[in-house]
Chains A and B, each alone.
Chain A
C-alpha cells in the first residue's frame, strides 16, 4: 500500500528565504508525482507534475525534483513571499490514476 509522508507538518520562514519542502513515498512504482497548493478551505491547484521518467520540473520560482528509486521528491521555492503562504501537498499517481496524497506542509511566510 502506497504511503506518502511530508515532514514537517508546518513551517514558518521570513520573507525572501529559499526553502525546500520534502516528500517521501514507499512504493516506487508510480506514474508521476504532483505538487499541489491549497489555500484554506479551497480546492487544489496543481503546481508541478513530474513524470516517472523525469528528474525535475521548473515553473517560475518553483523547482521540483524526483528520485524515484529512493522514493523522494523535493519542492524548492526561491525567494519566498507572503503570498506563498498555503498548504503544499504532494501526491503520487499509481494504478487506475489514483492519487495518493501526503498530509501536506502548511507554510507561513512572514513579511
Chain B
C-alpha cells in the first residue's frame, strides 16, 4: 500500500505566475485536503475534496482553486502568485470522508515565490 505522494518536491516561481501542485491519495481514500504551512506556523486548511466535489473551504482567496479526479488524486492551483504564498503545501487523504478518521499527510511541496 503506497502512502500519500506529492509532486514536485520543490518549486520556485516569480510573483504573478501560476502554479499547479499535485497529490496522489493513499489507496482506498476518497477524501483529500490541502493545507498551507508558512515557516514557523501550523498548517492552515485551504479546502477539501470528497468524491470530486469541494467539501469545505478555509479562509483563502479564489485564486486558490482545486480539482479532484476520478482516481481521487488532486491538484491545487494558485494563480497570480504573491510573495506571501511562499510556504510548504501539504495534502492529506482520509478514507471515505469519515470525520473520525486519521488524515494521512504527504511530504509536502515547498513553494518559493520570488
Contacts and interface: CB of A to CB of B under 8 A. Distances in A.
B103 interface: yes
A34 B102 contact: yes
A104 to B, nearest CB: 6
Interface centre among A89, A99, A102, A103 (most CB of B within 10 A): A99
Given A31-B99, A43-B105, A101 B43 contact: yes
Contact of A4 (B42, B56, B108, B110): B42
B105 A93 contact: no
Nearest to B31: A97
Contacts of B92: 44, 99
Interface residues on A, range: 20 to 34
Given A41-B110, A43-B90, A97 B41 contact: no
A61 interface: no
B107 A31 contact: no
Interface in A36-63: 36, 41-46, 49, 51
Interface in B59-114: 88, 90, 92, 94, 97-100, 102-108, 110
B48 A98 contact: yes
B42 A89 contact: yes
The bracket for how many chain B residues form the interface is: 20 to 34
B33 interface: yes
Interface string B16-47: 00000000000000010101000011111100
Contacts of A4: 42
Nearest to A36: B105
A12 B108 CA distance: 27
B41 A99 contact: no
A43 B105 CA distance: 6
Contacts of A34: 102-103
Contacts of A49: 102
Which residue, of B33, B45, B94, has the highest number of chain A Cβ atoms within 10 A? B45
A32 interface: yes
